[in-house]
């Protein structure tokens, strides 16, 4: 079938593709490259120096070939088309070996790679069929390859219930159209439709928040669903599916309106960068109890709290972590995402407890989520209470590790308009962990942070100044961008960019520890300038009503 639309079509390269001698060099998403030799094709067993797993995934996705095809379509660049044909022929030759083809199906994120690959193969078929000099024998080989990877995606063992599974289903719908009225086309339609509806029902909680533990991935899933609706309408696919998707999108969009910053940007909470959206912010508090996420929000203040997880997808070591933003200025932050290479020390820093403003046992520092679960057992958390009143919002959350061997409780009071109190309680059983418990805050990168005495931090940026008070006696260590010993004091709010920022660790050496903190989001010399309500909460008077 001729297709006039490919969902999320591939961008052309910025400049005309040129060969140097016998070869061309194409960028991968990771920053590594794919080299195409006009005489020898592509080295498919290439070893990558950085982000090896991600680079291999993108290499075998064939995405650079699709970008060459888009470049040809946009600029009539014969060199780009020549490289695309050579590269795809090379892949077909390489993957004709059953052992190699099987190994491609076992790479990291093989489902993600295959979902992209299917759309690339379809794009190749469509572009070549528009030419009078199309190579029929090559098109037959490409169709056979497309059939193999479509069948592969349709197998239950290659399906995961997250955005990878959604991408695979979208790819199968492309194959539905490409293969027309063939029997396998109908089979792909049935599989894709069933999976998409299953995902729509299971991926979002009753309030519409996605189960991938990251606001950026929530937004990504919503965009996938929106594109899918347009694709289905364009090709006249299932009306039942379209109606279901539109209802799901409506709920998910409403949830996103609570979660974005006031300017509509995606906050770097969990495994995401900062990026703008066209979402109109809903500046009201909201708790997503099923997803372990809450937002306290008005026109000026944004506070988030994470505790618990509906799934392990993209989950970091971030139970009890909070972010705080005031007048479009970051006060407390999450570390962000940086890279997906888990061997990278900066990735390990920001995805572990070192990259979050929360309460943790010292042993968590530097460990990824899977390592924590493997070493210490189940981590179970939830937001227990979310109370709105005239003076502010009170939130209580709690998480435990390894059958209750360690318990961590955090209570927060946002007192309008500019005060926040945080009361943390930690109980560690004998032998489970060392008695060293940490209350950690990672500060916004524009802030200069310094101690003013033992129990007060001054946070300044230009004319802005605010104060953090630590009410209970404990040791405090301030640091920024350290590489020796633990890699700590770093954040990444843009993919592949790592930057230093201030952080503080408050430490108490006791199996039953308590921290009490007040943040005044204005110039403040002492606690007497804070309201009675916030001081009472921090002094464990008011808090008893919410614990």
- Res 175 pLDDT > 90: yes
Q: By the 8 A CB rule, do 205 and 211 touch?
A: yes
Q: Are residues 351 and 417 in the same domain?
A: yes
Q: Are residues 467 and 406 in the same domain?
A: yes
The overall average pLDDT reported for the chain is 94
Q: Are residues 238 and 312 in the same domain?
A: no
Q: Are residues 349 and 429 in the same domain?
A: yes
Alpha helices in 62-182 (DSSP H): 63-75, 78-95, 98-104, 110-129, 136-154, 163-178
Residue 254 within any structural domain of the chain: no
CATH code for the domain of 334: 2.70.98.70
Residue 51 within any structural domain of the chain: yes
Q: If DSSP codes are grouped into helix, strand and coil, which group holds residue 299? A: coil
Q: Are residues 226 and 333 in the same domain?
A: no
Residue 8 within any structural domain of the chain: no
pLDDT digits (tens, 9 = 90+) for 227-249: 999 999 999 999 999 999 999 99
pLDDT (0 to 100) of residue 132 = 73
Q: Are residues 239 and 264 in the same domain?
A: no
Average pLDDT over residues 451-473: 95
Q: Are residues 109 and 163 in the same domain?
A: yes
Cross-strand pairs, 425: 409, 514
pLDDT digits (tens, 9 = 90+) for 503-540: 999 998 888 889 999 999 999 999 999 999 999 999 85
Q: By the 8 A CB rule, do 79 and 21 touch?
A: no
* Residue listed under structure tokens 């009078």: 132
Average pLDDT over residues 356-366: 95
For 428, the domain range is 260-277+293-546
More confident residue, 336 or 405: 336
Residue 526 within any structural domain of the chain: yes
CATH code for the domain of 64: 1.50.10.100
Q: Are residues 116 and 176 in the same domain?
A: yes
Residue 287 within any structural domain of the chain: no
Q: Are residues 85 and 169 in the same domain?
A: yes
Residue 165 within any structural domain of the chain: yes
Task: Please give the torsion angle defined by the CA atoms of residues 302, 306, 310 and 315, in that order, rounded to the nearest 10 degrees.
Answer: 110
pLDDT digits (tens, 9 = 90+) for 1-49: 889 999 999 999 987 666 666 788 999 999 899 999 999 999 999 999 9
Residue 418 within any structural domain of the chain: yes
Q: Are residues 168 and 306 in the same domain?
A: no
pLDDT (0 to 100) of residue 544 = 44
pLDDT (0 to 100) of residue 18 = 67
Residue 373 within any structural domain of the chain: yes
Q: Are residues 69 and 198 in the same domain?
A: yes
pLDDT (0 to 100) of residue 157 = 97
In 481-538, DSSP assigns E strands to: 490-494, 497-500, 502-509, 512-520
**How many domains does one find in the chain?**
2
Average pLDDT over residues 154-173: 96
The pLDDT-based confidence of 546 (bands split at 50, 70, 90) is very low
Q: Are residues 142 and 267 in the same domain?
A: no
Q: By the 8 A CB rule, do 354 and 488 touch?
A: yes
pTM for the predicted model, two decimal places: 0.91
């Amino acid at each position: 079938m001729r297709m006039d639309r490919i969902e999320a079509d591939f961008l052309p390269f910025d400049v005309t593709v040129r060969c140097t001698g016998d070869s061309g060099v194409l960028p991968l998403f990771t920053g590594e490259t794919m080299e195409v030799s006009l005489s020898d094709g592509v080295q498919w067993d290439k070893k990558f120096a950085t982000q090896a797993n991600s680079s291999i995934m993108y290499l075998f996705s064939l995405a650079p070939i699709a970008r060459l095809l888009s470049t040809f379509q946009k600029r009539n660049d014969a060199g780009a088309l020549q490289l695309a044909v050579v590269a795809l022929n090379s892949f077909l030759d390489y993957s004709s070996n059953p052992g190699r083809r099987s190994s491609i199906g076992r790479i990291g994120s093989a489902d993600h790679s295959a979902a992209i690959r299917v759309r690339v193969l379809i794009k190749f078929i469509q572009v070549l069929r528009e030419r009078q000099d199309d190579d029929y024998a090559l098109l037959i080989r490409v169709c056979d390859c497309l059939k193999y990877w479509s069948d592969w995606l349709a197998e239950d063992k290659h399906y995961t219930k997250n955005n990878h599974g959604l991408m695979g289903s979208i790819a199968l719908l492309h194959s539905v159209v490409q293969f027309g009225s063939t029997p396998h086309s109908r089979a792909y339609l049935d599989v894709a439709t069933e999976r998409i509806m299953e995902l729509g029902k299971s991926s979002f909680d009753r309030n519409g928040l996605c189960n991938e533990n990251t606001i950026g991935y929530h937004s990504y899933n919503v965009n996938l669903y929106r594109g899918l609706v347009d694709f289905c309408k364009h090709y006249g696919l299932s009306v039942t599916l379209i109606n279901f998707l539109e209802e799901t999108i409506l709920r998910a969009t409403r949830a996103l309106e609570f979660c974005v910053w006031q300017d509509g940007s995606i906050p770097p909470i969990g495994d995401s960068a900062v990026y703008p959206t066209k979402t109109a912010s809903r500046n009201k508090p909201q708790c997503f109890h099923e997803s372990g996420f809450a937002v306290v929000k008005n026109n000026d203040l944004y506070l988030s709290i994470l505790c618990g997880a509906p799934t392990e997808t993209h989950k970091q070591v971030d139970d009890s972590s909070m972010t705080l933003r005031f007048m479009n200025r970051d006060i407390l932050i999450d570390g962000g995402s940086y890279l997906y290479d888990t061997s990278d020390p900066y990735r390990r820093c920001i995805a572990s407890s070192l990259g979050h403003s929360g309460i943790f046992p010292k042993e968590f520092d530097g460990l990824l989520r899977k390592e924590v679960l493997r070493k210490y057992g189940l981590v179970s958390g939830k937001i227990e209470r979310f109370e709105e009143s005239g003076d502010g919002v009170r939130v209580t959350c709690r998480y435990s590790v390894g059958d209750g061997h360690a318990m961590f409780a955090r209570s927060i009071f946002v007192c309008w308009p500019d005060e926040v109190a945080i009361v943390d309680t930690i109980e560690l059983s004998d032998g489970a962990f060392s008695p060293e418990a940490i209350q950690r805050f990672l500060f916004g990168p524009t802030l200069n942070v310094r101690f003013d005495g033992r129990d007060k931090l001054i946070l300044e940026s230009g004319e802005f100044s605010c104060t953090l008070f630590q009410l209970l006696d404990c040791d405090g260590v301030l640091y920024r961008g350290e590489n020796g010993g633990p890699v700590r004091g770093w954040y990444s709010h843009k993919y592949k960019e790592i930057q230093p920022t201030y952080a503080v660790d408050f430490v108490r050496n006791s199996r039953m520890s308590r921290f009490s903190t007040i943040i005044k989001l204005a110039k403040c010399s002492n606690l007497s300038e804070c309201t009675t309500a916030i001081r009472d909460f921090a002094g464990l008077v008011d808090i008893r009503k919410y614990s």
